[in-house]
Every structure is written in structure tokens, then in C-alpha cells.
């Protein structure tokens, strides 16, 4: 379930990072959020693949 917790918490870290850079480096904030969303998607695809073998 570590992966699931990472998927859950990664966007929250992105929010925290964005708050640090808010107004100063807007582009950087946008890239951090997008990167976190991309990592979540990749992890989800892996998670789905791993779990679907077990439960479905």
C-alpha cells in the first residue's frame, strides 16, 4: 500500500511546494503540479497492473 499512499500524498506535497513558490516562480509551480500528476498517473498504471492480477 506504500504506492497508494504515495499517490495520495504526492499532490499534497505539490501544494506545499507551490505555496513556497507562490507568486515568485509561477511557472515552476505549474511544472511541479504537472510533474506530480504525471508521477501519480505512472504509479497508478503500475498499481492497477499489479492489483488487477490479484483481485480481478
Which are the contacts of 7, defined by CB distance < 8 A and separation ≥ 6?
40, 43, 44, 47
CA 26 to chain centre: 19
H helices of the chain, in order, are 2-21, 26-55
- We find the least distance from the C-beta atom of residue 20 to other proteins, in angstroms, to be 10
Binding to other proteins (CB under 8 A) within 16-55 occurs at 18-19, 21-23, 25-27, 29-30, 32-34, 36-38, 40-52, 54-55
Q: Which residues bind to other proteins, rule: CB under 8 A?
A: 1-5, 7-9, 11-12, 14-15, 18-19, 21-23, 25-27, 29-30, 32-34, 36-38, 40-52, 54-56
Amino acid at each position: 500500500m506504500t504506492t497508494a499512499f504515495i499517490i495520495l500524498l504526492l499532490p499534497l506535497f505539490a501544494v506545499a511546494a507551490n505555496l513556497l513558490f507562490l507568486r515568485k516562480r509561477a511557472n515552476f509551480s505549474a511544472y511541479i503540479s504537472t510533474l506530480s500528476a504525471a508521477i501519480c498517473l505512472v504509479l497508478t498504471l503500475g498499481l492497477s497492473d499489479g492489483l488487477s492480477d490479484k483481485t480481478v
